[in-house]
Amino acid sequence: MKPDIIGGIPQQRIAEIFDAECASYATLHPRSMQLAGHGIAGYYQGVPMHWMRDWSMPYPFVVESARGAVLHDVDGNDYADFCLGDTGSMFGHSPPPVAEAIARQASRGLTYMLPTADTIAVGRLLAERFGLPQWQVATTATDANRFALRVARAITGRPRILVFNGCYHGTVDETFVRLVGGRAVHRPGLLGQAADLTPLARIVEFNDLPALTAELAHGDVACVIAEPVMTNSCMVLPEPGFHAGLRRLTRAAGTLLLIDETHTISTGPGGYTRAHGLEPDLFVVGKPIAGGVPASVWGFTDEVARRLDEVRAATPAGHSGMGTTLSANALAIAAMRATLEHVMTDEAYAHMDALAARLADGLTGIVRNYGLSWHVVRVGARVEFVCAPGPLRNGSEAEAAHAPALEQAIHLALLNRGCLIAPFHNMMLVSPATSAGQVDTLCAAFEGVVASLALDLATWQ
């Protein structure tokens, strides 16, 4: 009987390797087992945030410290960290200018809901870097997206938000939909939803300009929210002309365009937007913008600001539904200033880009050598291997390209060889602190895993 095959690899081989790697993991992590193996007391599901259960390892290891691109656990293991807090630490753990700024601010008050001298500098830095004149600071990218979408609805007077199938923009209600059989449905797994989200959604596949044209023609879409490259399933690049078409069609329909750069800030110092001359009305970036201290920013054009002023003038005083108490606190702003001035530099990006290219080339060569029909995709410092042929064109293809059991085995095997990659997809980030040696270690580890997965492949076929 022909064996079940996942990503070109027999399922039985994947299971054998996963079991062996679980055993190695247990040997390497006895102390973590004591501390967290049966769940950490006091926490639902044994962790302070349930996503910490979503890694490939049988139980999480406990981190002792992290610096630059190295993570150290309580069992004495060091990891070359290519996950980097799933982008929160994209510029390395505790970059010295950020650590110094935090230390400086720590004794001067952490939050007072008033601006500081750093606030004044940050306003100028954001405008210069990202090319938009009006900014607000929030605490997470989720919040920033939520507030920006609220503005879009308020100033257009339109109810709907259009998303691309397969998107993720944080836990933002409007984006928790999927396209099934040509219709919007709730994203699988969504819990506790009070209202049906689908009447306020429009959803099309990425790279599908005819479908976008048709959905915008209803005239009821306030805003399209998009990552410039879809990064939250297997990575999907925009096809030539897609972004120009997206901008042209949204303008023609009177619909605002929100570009969410939270992950694609890997592209360059001004994100994909600056690198490719995009012209969003609204712009969001979170996660690493303050070097790992919780903070996000959302920017917009003078035209959006003018329309917002008009709407506010016509609205009775009260609560706008935007903002949170700790947003733009003094600590976050100090860390953001240090990040913008000293960490997100052209030199840092040049280093990240060169090593990410080295990583992508290395992985591509290995995939080819072993005759696997996988592919590798990259946007700046962000690299991903996909255990399926590419390029992928949209969210449906990206979803279908996932191979969870195979990915889990590879992740765990890499971890046991000292390399940490992101848990949710096969994503690897290169930071300014990452070394060529770490990249080569990851390539060697990947080759080792692939060699064992592909061993005797011909005899299975």
Ligand X SMILES: Cc1ncc(COP(=O)(O)O)c(C=O)c1O
List residues binding ligand X (CB under 6 A). 140-142, 145, 168-170, 227, 232, 260, 262-263, 286-287
CB of 146 vs ligand X, minimal distance in Å = 9
**Residue whose C-beta lies closest to ligand X:** 170
Element (H or E) spanning 457, and its range?
helix 457-460
Closer residue to ligand X, CB minimum distance, 292 or 390: 292
CB of 309 vs ligand X, minimal distance in Å = 27
| DSSP state letter for 160 | E
CB of 16 vs ligand X, minimal distance in Å = 33
Closer residue to ligand X, CB minimum distance, 29 or 263: 263
Closer residue to ligand X, CB minimum distance, 37 or 280: 280
291/294 Cα distance (integer angstroms) = 9
Closer residue to ligand X, CB minimum distance, 227 or 281: 227
Residue 236 forms beta bridges with which residues? Answer: 230
CB of 88 vs ligand X, minimal distance in Å = 7
CB of 218 vs ligand X, minimal distance in Å = 25
CB of 85 vs ligand X, minimal distance in Å = 10
Element (H or E) spanning 63, and its range?
strand 63-67
CB of 276 vs ligand X, minimal distance in Å = 16
Residue with tokens 């870097």: 129
Asked whether 90 and 287 are in contact (CB, 8 A), the reply is yes
Closer residue to ligand X, CB minimum distance, 170 or 380: 170
Residues 6+ apart with CB under 8 A from 372: 7, 8, 387, 450, 454
Residues 6+ apart with CB under 8 A from 116: 330, 333, 334
Closer residue to ligand X, CB minimum distance, 17 or 295: 295
30/24 Cα distance (integer angstroms) = 11
CB of 264 vs ligand X, minimal distance in Å = 8
371/456 Cα distance (integer angstroms) = 12
CB of 260 vs ligand X, minimal distance in Å = 5
Closer residue to ligand X, CB minimum distance, 10 or 280: 280
Element (H or E) spanning 198, and its range?
none
Q: In terms of C-beta distances under 8 Å and separation of at least 24 residues, what long-range contacts does 270-278 make, across chains too? A: 270/129, 270/130, 270/131, 271/130, 271/228, 272/228, 272/229, 272/379, 273/130, 273/131, 273/228, 274/129, 274/130, 274/131, 275/380, 276/228, 276/243, 278/228, 278/243, 278/247
Closer residue to ligand X, CB minimum distance, 227 or 397: 227
Closer residue to ligand X, CB minimum distance, 258 or 443: 258
Closer residue to ligand X, CB minimum distance, 21 or 143: 143
Residue with tokens 């997809």: 425
Asked whether 396 and 387 are in contact (CB, 8 A), the reply is no
Residue 277: other Cβ atoms inside 10 A: 11
CB of 267 vs ligand X, minimal distance in Å = 13
Residue with tokens 């079940």: 4
Residues 261, 265, 269, 272, Cα dihedral to 10°: -60
